[in-house]
Structure 1
Amino acid sequence: MKIAIVGTGMIAREALIALRQVGNVEVKTICARPHSREKAEALAREFGVPQTVTDYEAMLAAHEADVVYLGIVNSAHFSYARAAIEAGWHVIVEKPFTSTLAEAEELIARARAAGCYLFEAVTPLFLPNYLGILSALPQLGLIRLVQANFSQYSSRYERYLARDVAPAFDPVLSGGALYDLNVYNLALIVALFGRPQSASYTANIGFNGIDTSGVLTLRYDGFVATAAAAKDSSSPSFFLIQGESGWIRADGTPNELTSFTVGLRGKEPKTYALNKYEHRMVHEFEAIREIFERKDYLRVEEGLRTSRTVMAVMEKARLVAGIQFRAD
């Protein structure tokens, strides 16, 4: 599988680090905007990528790779992915999938019509520890509570308080705690339990109308799930499922899922660490490569159903909380 990386920020660098450990994948190109050419060239030298470009449309037309990975600002996901699909590329979009549900539905429809694979890069859903949690879930009996917390003080928050707004805090660019961090919590909950009956979002709103932290409450048949995320404060992060017969807890940020513990009533808790790689994105790229090689479109569709549901829930919750994006 040949891949082109679009973006030069932190997540693009992390993708390049992870791809070093993935067999049968060749990074052909790094694409950046003209003002980031030097950063792209530095990354290319560091990671041995043979080509850098600043013309995205020309890169798509040249078609020297199979897949484009979009590690760019949230608000650009839709337009860049649409252009790639129109040019016949397969696409990996960093989370959040899009800014709105309408954008997500259009991308999915276009990818299906073009026969292109389309993925949202939500790392925990590709991890062996996620599959372990899914396998252990029936042992818990009836589920009663699900709680998730992904809170880490943003390195850009002090800039934000000084009215210097980075993309992660900009509603024009589809930022905020819900779309940046809580998306991981929500993706796990939706992948495990499906679409909730209802959702609401209570948020701490900053001076420019963006959520710096907040709690998403989801109602399911028989249980409630809460998902908290914060960029303005920090705490121990976790993912916890409580059932009538036991519990499952994953400590640490939900995007990593480094291990999980199963505690069943009357038995000693057991901890499992099933991930093969330390870097969370390696499993993701390995899984996508295997899907690509096997032409496993059923796996693609499974991921798209989750992505669509997550976008539907986030958009509704965001709008009820009064958070407006330029894309709305």
Structure 2
Amino acid sequence: MVRFGVIGTNWITDRFIDGAQKIKDFQLTAVYSRTEENAKEFANKYGVTSTYTDLSVFAESDVIDAVYIASPTAFHAEHAMTCMKAGKHVIVEKPFASNQREVESMIETAKANNVTLMEAMKTTHLPNFDLVKKSLDKIGPVRRYVANFCQYSSRYDKYKEGIVLNAFKPELSNGSLMDIGVYCLYPMVALFGAPERVKATGYMLDSGVDGEGTVTVDYPTLNGVAMFSKITNSKLPSEIQGEKGSIVIGKFSDMRDVKIVYHDGTEEKLTTDQVENSMYYEALSFIQSVQKGEIENSTNTWELSLETMKVLDQAREDIGLVFPADK
């Protein structure tokens, strides 16, 4: 049994808990929030009695073995390192941190304290992603990667009314690239490694974050394009194009509706059954790493997180997206 504490009491934490509760070795035992009211309200939903408003006290708690961190991105590194220094294993929501420097500090802290540290990117743990990876030879050689994830945020309506919520605040290291674009870029690095060149463009909002953008990358034998947005919707699928055919992916973040379309028009369905709550798989993999004594997950490796963050950093430089955390 791995006893979990959670940092963050928003919808994504509910979603993680819902997925993790399907795992017999998961137990939720503690909740941290900045306010006692929020901590108790969230804990009561799950019958949890241990609540905390002091991060250091939470980290030292003897009722938890591991921590799921879903605080704003600007706090990921601080929260993760505080918990790891107290001997707790940590799974941190994507994006892993604000920048490369923070990711490197988190990795060093995990090594120093011999605890598991993993980025909570669900896509790479999904059965359908594994099928995509194993099917690249069927369409190869691969020449183009096109990832499309544009999802209009309900918080943008408030933004247009003059109310800037967390999703559009640079002081929280947020914006379209960090919140949505990472879903396009992380699997790309997982499949093809670090790109040789990164270029990006984006539409900047008055608050100081990007509303939407595009990242293009070059590899020695293929090109990549990532399109992402929090201010528009898209119904276009994503594709991995090869000289023999294309892998077409309906919903990219969940790897749903996946098929190969060959040049002669024939189609091969790749989609297999997945647990409806796709966060189940990342939770299971993290728990297995903890139980095996692995401080680094074999799928969501530290190198993968670090190389993805380097791409995000370069894209932000091109767009002109600067966070207080960078200073």
Range class of TM-score, shorter chain: over 0.9
* In 2: Cα distance, 1:48 partner to 1:19 partner: 15
1:6 alignment partner AA: I
For the structure 1 residues 54 and 117, does the alpha-carbon distance in structure 2 shift closer, same or farther, using more than 3 Å as the test?
A: same
* In 2: Cα distance, 1:296 partner to 1:259 partner: 33
The answer to whether the 8 Å contact 1:117/1:300 transfers is: no
* In 2: Cα distance, 1:229 partner to 1:68 partner: 29
Identify unmatched segments of 5+ residues in structure 1. none
Give the number of equivalent residue pairs. 325
The answer to whether the 8 Å contact 1:197/1:221 transfers is: yes
Q: CA deviation at 1:158?
A: 1.6
* Equivalent residue, structure 2, for 1:13: 14
The answer to whether the 8 Å contact 1:118/1:300 transfers is: no
- Superposed CA deviations along residues 163-202 of structure 1, whole A, max 9, x for unmatched, are 3211111111101100000101000100000000011110
Confirm whether residue 132 of structure 1 aligns to residue 107 of structure 2. Answer: no
The answer to whether the 8 Å contact 1:127/1:275 transfers is: no
* Equivalent residue, structure 2, for 1:233: 232
Identify unmatched segments of 5+ residues in structure 2. none
* Equivalent residue, structure 2, for 1:255: 253
Alignment of 1:71-220 (within 5 A): 71-220=70-219
The answer to whether the 8 Å contact 2:118/2:300 transfers is: no
Equivalent position to 1:274, from 272, 277, 290: 272
**What percent identity do the matched residue pairs reach?**
30
TM-score by length of 1: 0.95
What RMSD in Å do the two structures reach over aligned CA positions?
Answer: 1.6
Q: CA deviation at 1:290?
A: 1.5
Q: CA deviation at 1:258?
A: 2.3
The answer to whether the 8 Å contact 1:119/1:300 transfers is: no
The answer to whether the 8 Å contact 1:151/1:237 transfers is: no
TM-score by length of 2: 0.95
Comparing 168-177 with 53-62, greater Cα deviation is found at 53-62
Q: CA deviation at 1:62?
A: 2.1
1:10 alignment partner AA: W
- Superposed CA deviations along residues 250-284 of structure 1, whole A, max 9, x for unmatched, are 102x2211231122344721223334310010111
1:11 alignment partner AA: I
Comparing 200-209 with 37-46, greater Cα deviation is found at 37-46
Confirm whether residue 315 of structure 1 aligns to residue 313 of structure 2. Answer: yes
1:318 alignment partner AA: R
* In 1: Cα distance, 2:129 partner to 2:290 partner: 21
Q: CA deviation at 1:59?
A: 1.5
Comparing 11-20 with 125-134, greater Cα deviation is found at 11-20
* In 1: Cα distance, 2:162 partner to 2:197 partner: 35
1:18 alignment partner AA: G
